[in-house]
Amino acid sequence: MTTFASLSSLDADDFTSIALTPDGRVSSRMATALPDKRDHWVVIAPAAVRFHPRFQEIVRQEGHRRPDVDLFYGDEIEPTAGGGAGWDLVLKPDLDLALLIADDYVGVPLVVRASAMRRLGELRPAAGTAAAYELVLRALSAGLGITRITEQLAAHRRARPRPRIDDRRAALQAWLADTASPFDITDGLVPGTLRLQRRFAAFPDVTLVIPTRQSTRPDDRGAGCGQPYILDLLDSVARTDWPMDQLRVVIGDDVASDHVYGGQRWPFDMRRLVTSRGDGKFNYAEKINRLWRAAETEQIVIMNDDMVVRSADWLQALLTFSMQDDVGVAGARLIYPNDTIQHAGIPGGLFGMCAHAWLGQPAAAPTYQNWALVHREWSMMTGAVHATRKSVLELLNGFDERFSLEFNDVDFCLRARMLGYRNVYTPFAELVHHEKASRGEVLPPGGELALFLKRWGEFLEHDPAYHPMLARDRFQIGPVDHPGGWWQ
């Protein structure tokens, strides 16, 4: 018979417990001063939670392995929603600020070094059901090391405790006020989730960089002789909620003739560069590098031409993140014309490499932990819509031109991540994507695949934005089949 650990059974020499009520409020406070030793731990959890039988051993091992970390969180298990007999695994990415703002994915238990807890102070009952969540925000402000333990540390007898949305909103607003950040917190797309929105006291100049070969969309008979995709995109960009005198478009056109633009007038400044190579070879990375270097603004959005803007505030949504100094890339939610998902983030390890999560799934279908409908960080995102800054492009020397067809965008994201930048996906920038119209159906050379795997294979296998117990053999993200566990 499995013996569970509990708050009351923790070894007092190494652990101090702080109990929460079932809805996450402060139930008990530390009765005595914390010991003056770094390897003493404060465990914050609901009083009735069941811990992994090896909970204390796991914490000690992880604490020894990661002396740079002051606060750990782990995976949780809760009964299947709707009264089923099974269990749902709540698997978590490594520290993800964008997701933490959208949803309290960190949850409980929290395991905090005593030295860090003395620095942070006690849980604040005034935070209500968001007491533990508010402590995590304070730990972020204090610059403490925070990371996950990829183990199912806690099992709940009923649905895991989640802060009331109003309590979490209040904690976030107070945290943002302390940092003097120019952001508002508004409602998310899914009940119980929130959205970070930048307040634009002054709109910056932005350049949209768009490569094209004047590919045309199919007409009513399915033949490719309709209007060029680039015109559809420019028409939709003109409806963007952004000052048009601060929006610039640089088009890199493989077709010398500009007759398709004749007589067209758009409210933004547009420049067209002829970018076809004399040898007839197509190198997307080379083309993008030429275009962004021609841009004269710090804020840059790289776009394929086969797009149509769906949300008027798509640019504001992207720049909410891409203007942050610690963000390298902001990516959009892309939907196929048949209303299925094309892009909502790219996890590492899928199909032995990396792939688009939920590819081809109906856009309205539910996704694991609502990840397709909340802003969150992914290590990689598609370059089909790719907001960044010219200073970041210059630092990384743009796209690696050895990746002429594929991988140049995800390689750029990964190189940005290696420099400490966050890459953020936001569903609030939504566009329709007619994929492959920008360059047609061309298979990547085997040498480029080999180079990509040699450079990033090990990282992809252990992508911190993903989880080792999430499926890697299907686009539909979710936990792998689990025959049983200590919680059953």
Q: Are 307 and 384 in contact (CB under 8 A)?
A: yes
Nearest by Cα to 429 from 375, 483, 349: 375
420 and 343 assigned to the same domain:
yes
User: CA-CA distance, 335 to 376, in Å (whole number)?
Assistant: 18
Residues in the chain: 488
Query: CB-hemisphere CA count at 13 Å for 210?
Result: 27
The residues pairing with 247 across neighbouring beta strands, listed in sequence order, are 206
b/e burial code for range 24-43 (CB count within 10 A of at least 16 → b): bbbeeeeeeebeeeeebbbb
Confidence at residue 27, expressed as pLDDT on a 0 to 100 scale: 83
Q: Block means of pLDDT (10 residues each) for the chain, length 488 residues? A: 77 92 84 79 94 96 96 95 79 98 97 94 95 97 97 92 96 90 94 96 96 81 72 96 97 91 91 80 90 97 96 97 97 97 96 95 96 98 96 98 93 98 98 68 73 95 96 94 76
3-state SS, residue 392 = helix
Q: Is the dihedral of CA 72, 75, 76, 81 positive or negative?
A: positive
Q: Are 335 and 433 in contact (CB under 8 A)?
A: yes
63 and 114 assigned to the same domain:
yes
Q: Are 316 and 197 in contact (CB under 8 A)?
A: yes
**Residue in the structure block whose two tokens are 């929603």:** 81
**Does 26 reside within a domain?**
yes
Tokens of 116: 């860090």
**Does 262 reside within a domain?**
yes
212 and 177 assigned to the same domain:
no
Burial of residue 464 (number of CB atoms within 10 Å: 0-12, 13-18, 19+): middle
**Does 159 reside within a domain?**
yes
217 and 170 assigned to the same domain:
no
174 and 231 assigned to the same domain:
no
Q: Is the dihedral of CA 14, 19, 24, 25 positive or negative?
A: negative
**Does 486 reside within a domain?**
no
**Does 197 reside within a domain?**
no
36 and 122 assigned to the same domain:
yes
**Does 201 reside within a domain?**
no
Cα 206 to chain centroid, rounded: 22
Confidence at residue 440, expressed as pLDDT on a 0 to 100 scale: 43
Going by their DSSP bridges, the two strands 206-212 and 194-198 should be labelled as unpaired
HEC profile of 148-165? EEEEEEEECCCCCCCCCH
Tokens of 256: 């010398």
User: CA-CA distance, 112 to 63, in Å (whole number)?
Assistant: 10
Going by their DSSP bridges, the two strands 50-51 and 87-90 should be labelled as unpaired
Nearest by Cα to 290 from 398, 413, 391, 215: 398
318 and 394 assigned to the same domain:
yes
| CB neighbours of residue 418 within 10 Å | 13
Tokens of 54: 């090896």
**Residue in the structure block whose two tokens are 């970018």:** 275
Helix (H) or strand (E) holding 51: strand 50-51
Residue 352 DSSP one-character state: G
Cα diameter, the chain:
79
3-state SS, residue 404 = coil
46 and 124 assigned to the same domain:
yes
Q: Are 295 and 209 in contact (CB under 8 A)?
A: yes
Query: CB-hemisphere CA count at 13 Å for 251?
Result: 22
Using the 3D structure, point to which of 146, 181, 216 is the last residue of a domain. 181
Q: Are 151 and 76 in contact (CB under 8 A)?
A: no
In the chain, the number of structural domains is 2
**Residue in the structure block whose two tokens are 């099992």:** 155
274 and 392 assigned to the same domain:
yes
332 and 223 assigned to the same domain:
yes
User: CA-CA distance, 423 to 327, in Å (whole number)?
Assistant: 6
Q: What is the dihedral of CA 344, 212, 411, 455, to 10 degrees?
A: 130
Q: Any idea what the CATH number is for the domain that residue 454 is in?
A: 3.90.550.10
**Does 190 reside within a domain?**
no
240 Cβ contact list (under 8 Å, min separation 6): 247, 309, 312, 314, 315
Nearest by Cα to 22 from 49, 43, 51, 50: 49
b/e burial code for range 259-286 (CB count within 10 A of at least 16 → b): ebbeeeeeebebeeeebeeeeeebbbbb
229 and 275 assigned to the same domain:
yes
3-state SS, residue 201 = coil
Q: Are 428 and 469 in contact (CB under 8 A)?
A: no
* pTM above threshold 0.85: yes
Domain that holds residue 156: 7-181
User: CA-CA distance, 220 to 455, in Å (whole number)?
Assistant: 45
User: CA-CA distance, 118 to 399, in Å (whole number)?
Assistant: 46
**Does 341 reside within a domain?**
yes
155 and 114 assigned to the same domain:
yes
The residues pairing with 111 across neighbouring beta strands, listed in sequence order, are 43, 72
